[in-house]
Amino acid sequence: MPSPSQLTQSLKSESKRLGFALARCTAAVDVVTMPYLEGWLDSGMNGEMEYMQTRREAYRHPRSVMESVASVIVLALPYQTVAPVTGQPNSGRIARYAWGTADYHDIVHKRLKQLCKFAQSLDSAIVTRGVVDTAPLLEREFAQHAGIGWSAKNTMLINRDIGSYFFLAALLVNQPLDYDAPFVADHCGTCTACIDACPTDAFVSPRVLDANKCISYLTIEHRSPIDVELRPQMGNWILGCDICQEVCPWNRKPHAIGEDSFRPLADHNPLPMLKLFDLTDDDFRTRFRKTPLWRPKRRGILRNAAIALGNEANPEAIPALHRGLNDCETLVRGASAWALRRFKSQTALDHLQRRAAIEDDAYVLSEIHGTYPAN
């Protein structure tokens, strides 16, 4: 068995070879911020992410992910590539992390499997498990323990060298390692750019995010109709949101450039929205199955696109929204109805009246008529 120092160096060197920009080590310990997490969950700020409530006790210690864990290696993989393209009509914005040819979970998991295999080759007694974003592990807390960066006011983890545009992953190891010093400084200072820039006022206070108002949550995890009061503030975001990162001073200087798989597909920066309403379920699956756009499914993306088109109110979008108004999904019909009412044109009004005559869903009818219950 390699010594803790030898094992640490070997795993860090292999991590770098696999493309991870940072690899830092910390002990597997109880989560310090558990009282904050519990209070956050009790307040309902997790929205429809009920899995977090279900797994709340599992977040308490990494042993819930791997019983024999002794150490955690936290890994960072930058994904920043080119600048976002804005200002194109009828086009929706996608968060940078979702621009590429594949879902980042698949890319990172492949490398983690290689790292696990490498660790096993060093000694058969070494047990590992790689996780990225799906296991009940608070990666950002352990990243701070491992010295990668600090938890910013926008709840993102920031590293002084590469900013915040990076994926976090973790390798759980059943052996002691040489641990890095924790990151204890807070380099946000008095800056509140991220809080001030959020169009939906999703930050209750510094480092406290109400997911119910977060555009990223609303466009991905939220599966119901989006609060009518929030829709105008969503702009043209249809998957995720980068606003609180874009305004961060730590992301202004050039950072490490992400690999080719994170570079935007031709129509992902931005995404033309009108043709989305022509896609059947099978069409959508074929086009987006291996990308992050698959997570909200067709109905979620079309809901988001309808809201974005309603916010832009370009008359060219009316035929597409008419198709959405007659979609098989109530979620899409309702969002399209809201969007068409934003145009205040006779053509849009005619479409709404014709749909109202045959619509039998109460929710869709409320969107057609703009009759929303008082909060």
- d(C-alpha 196, C-alpha 184), whole Å: 25
Confirm whether 133 is a catalytic residue. Answer: yes
Residues in the chain: 375
- d(C-alpha 109, C-alpha 84), whole Å: 26
What percentage of the chain's residues is helix, strand, coil (to nearest 5)?
45, 10, 40
Candidate list 42, 103, 106, 133, residue with the active-site label: 133
- d(C-alpha 255, C-alpha 23), whole Å: 17
3-state SS class at 97: helix
DSSP 82: S
Phi first, then psi: what are they for 183, rounded to 5°? Answer: -90, 115
Q: Measured in whole angstroms, how far is the alpha carbon of residue 148 from the centre of its chain?
A: 20
Give me the helices (H) in 79-134, please: 104-122
For residues 31 and 37, is the Cβ–Cβ distance under 8 A? Answer: yes
> What's the angle, vertex CA 261, arms to CA 82 and CA 109, rounded to 5?
130
* DSSP per position, 227-270: PTTTGGGGTTEEE---HHHHT-GGGSS--PPPPGGGSPPTTTSS
Instruction: Give the residue among 220, 83, 245 at the shortest CA–CA distance from 162.
Output: 245
Cβ-Cβ contacts under 8 Å for 105 (sequence gap 6 or more): 132, 133, 134
Catalytic residues: 133
